[in-house]
Structure 1
C-alpha cells in the first residue's frame, strides 16, 4: 500500500515536468508522429519503467 502512495506522489510531481504535448513535440522533431493521447500512454509507460528500474537499483543496494 505504501508503494502505491509513493507512486501516486511521484506521478503528481512528474506530471508537472513533462506533459504529453512535450512528448509529441520531441517525437515530431525525430520524425515520429503521435497523438496527445498516444503520448500520454507512452509517458505513463516510461514512468512505470523508470520506477521499476529505480526500485531494482535500490533493492540491490540494500543487499
Structure 2
C-alpha cells in the first residue's frame, strides 16, 4: 500500500517554467524523497498530483529540450 504524504504546511514554489501570468502557474513542493507534489496555483486547496521523481525529471528535461510546445 502506498502512503500519501502529509502536505499540510508545505512550502510551495512556482515553477520557473510558468510564464508569470495569473493563468498559467504550476507550483511544486520540495522535500519529498522519490516524489514531486504538483498543484495549480489558481486553486491552492484543490487536487495535488504526485509524480514519481524520475518521471518529473524526464518531463522537465523534455520541457527544457523544447518538445512540449
TM-score range, shorter chain: 0.3 to 0.5
Question: Which structure has the higher relative contact order (CA within 8 Å, separation 6+)?
Answer: 1
Give the number of the structure whose alpha-carbon radius of gyration is greater.
Answer: 1
Which structure shows the bigger proportion of residues in strand conformation? 2
Which structure shows the bigger proportion of residues in helix conformation? 1
TM-score, with length taken from structure 1: 0.33
